[in-house]
Structure 1
Amino acid sequence: MSMIDSLPLRRLYSTIRVDSSADHDVHWLYMHADAAPGVRPCFRRPMMVDMHQFLDSISREDQRRPGRLQHLVLASDAGAFNLGGDLEVFSELIRQQDGAALLRYARSCIDGVYRFHQGLNGDFRTIALLQGDALGGGLEMALSCHTIVAEEGVGMGLPEVLFGLFPGMGAYNFLCRRVSPQLAERIILDGRVYSSEEMHAMGVVDVLVPRGQGEQAVRDLIRQQQRIPHSCLAMNAVRRLSNPVTYQELLDITQVWVDTALALGDKSLRTMDRLVRAQTRRSAMDHA
């Protein structure tokens, strides 16, 4: 193989950065490639569009390698992994009582977590690499992956209860496949931010490594799994059969989330607004 053949293939998007191996067996998707002061590292709609387009591109029939193990790694170019749903959008749509738009946003989110949980077409092992905080929907996306690799000192939590909501895009479903339902409910209702060390002790984080060693840990994990490709692909199928998270289940819970959001009052909306300002300040500090 020549040096050129071994270089990663890159695709250009405005909000994400993607590196793909020359054989298309390993893909790294970095969120927030447009990170800049004032750009909040959350699930902004343009980034969600880019992410879905990329997932579509590697799921197409002409890109598929049936029966061959592939890997998709979800990471971030920002100081945070992901701070969750776009609270500015939520606040605006709730004030307008636009439930249809809220549901469209939520469905885009569950489309993403469902695809990561399924391993796209079943041939992928998905890995979340947490080198910065994962909150709300950001943590839900990480939980949907087959494996969570986190560096020490990362904050992980579901703070939606602070403004009267709950994490409605898969948190309970995916947590219950890692911890007991009682613990999952406590994590959601506590609304506190846990450390990655605490989450590892509870069984939520699969691999915990020191700061700066996350990418290498992911590469090591991929090499280990590539030695046993048929076993990993079989485990994907077993997971779907023995303890499935169905799309309809996610959709039904999302409707509960929309109904709850539309019932929020001014106090909750003002809390959202304060969190948006805090996220914006945090983004500015990360780029100072």
Structure 2
Amino acid sequence: MSVPISRLHVSHDAPLLRHVSEHASRTDWCYMHADVASAYHPCFSERLLQQMLQTQERIRRNLAADPDPKAGIHHLVLASDSDVFNLGGDLQLFSRLIRGGQRGRLLEYAQLCVEVAFNLHQLYDDRVHSIAVVEGDALGGGFEAALCCHTIIAEEGAGMGFPEVLFDLFPGMGAYTFLTRRVAPVVAERMMLDARVYPVEELLRMGVVDMVVPRGEGRQAARELIRRNQRIGNALRAMNTVRQACNPVTLDELLKVTNEWVDAAMRLNDRGLKTMERLVRAQQRRAQAAAPALTLV
């Protein structure tokens, strides 16, 4: 079970995370980027991360109160209400904090990312199986969030990759830890530094993605997987324990890596920051262009 790292101010603005609990299937569905009525930038803002952490803690409390500790496996599904899964870290915030020399604030953000990531991997001992449903591009921290989950279901046409090297940084919120559980370290390092956006079909062949389904069928594929998993809930719980025993993921490991990420970020020169800021403007233009269509959903 995770240990809370930090408690940032909790915003009471419109929710960016839509949480749906299905008691019959013992499943919690968490949809990022729920506030689609405005030109919203679908990244990991502090507001979204805070709401994700709150929801994870609420699910954990519900599991702790379960009168039947031998009950079958519980599922946590991470998906998106946007046309992308997630475009990664809040680059606008990064640029502002780095230029202002605010290492402590950047570290606070990074620690929040790590706690949310760790909870996706191990929310409550062995009782939760997490599923990422990637219905659009997952970049940077969005790719990391999918990798934290036990199963990745991706829809055809989506792409996943790490663009951080474009501004001379590396993905530091779980990429190495979780990607090396799926591919060899040398492959993971190449993927973290080549800035490629990999088609999910290629990632399936590599073993990074578990399932690729036609566009529009990701959520139904998750429901079918959940139904199958309920029949082997005891085995899945045992496998969660075995996985953690043989190849453990610890909060301490994730924190050490993200501390190095913060140090590397604070060393960025003006050229790297300008590249980051150009990416911010490109993402903002994309969000503004997509906003009218999203309001019709």
TM-score, with structure 1 as normaliser: 0.93
Residue correspondence of structure 1 range 74-89 to structure 2 within 5 A: 74-89=78-93
Q: Which residue of 1 aligns with 2:41?
A: 40
Q: Which residue of 2 aligns with 1:15?
A: 16
> What one-letter code is carried by the residue in structure 1 that aligns with 2:144?
E
User: 1:287 offset after TM fit, Å?
Assistant: 2.5
Q: Deviations over 1:43-72 (max 9, x none)?
A: 011111111111110101325752321000
User: 1:192 offset after TM fit, Å?
Assistant: 1.1
Instruction: From the superposition, tell whether residues 63 and 97 of structure 1 become closer, same or farther in structure 2 (CA, over 3 Å).
Output: farther
1:81–1:138 contact (8 Å) kept in structure 2:
yes
User: 1:82 offset after TM fit, Å?
Assistant: 0.3
1:90–1:102 contact (8 Å) kept in structure 2:
yes
Matches of 2:67 and 2:237 in 1, distance apart? 14
Q: Which residue of 1 aligns with 2:56?
A: 55
> What one-letter code is carried by the residue in structure 1 that aligns with 2:19?
V
> What one-letter code is carried by the residue in structure 2 that aligns with 1:284?
Q
User: 1:36 offset after TM fit, Å?
Assistant: 4.0
Q: Which residue of 1 aligns with 2:117?
A: 113
Matches of 1:180 and 1:77 in 2, distance apart? 33
Identity among equivalent pairs (%): 52
The answer to whether the aligner puts 1:195 opposite 2:199 as a matched pair is yes
Matches of 1:267 and 1:67 in 2, distance apart? 55
Matches of 1:124 and 1:23 in 2, distance apart? 15
User: 1:233 offset after TM fit, Å?
Assistant: 0.5
Secondary structure of the 1:18 match is strand
Q: Which residue of 2 aligns with 1:234?
A: 238
Single out whichever of 53-62 and 20-29 deviates more from structure 2. Answer: 20-29
User: 1:14 offset after TM fit, Å?
Assistant: 1.1
Long gaps (5+) in structure 2: 1-12, 293-297
Matches of 1:32 and 1:194 in 2, distance apart? 23
Q: Which residue of 1 aligns with 2:282?
A: 278
Output the aligned Cα RMSD: 1.5
Matches of 1:138 and 1:81 in 2, distance apart? 7
User: 1:163 offset after TM fit, Å?
Assistant: 0.4
Matches of 1:121 and 1:154 in 2, distance apart? 31
How many residue pairs are counted as aligned between the two chains? 277
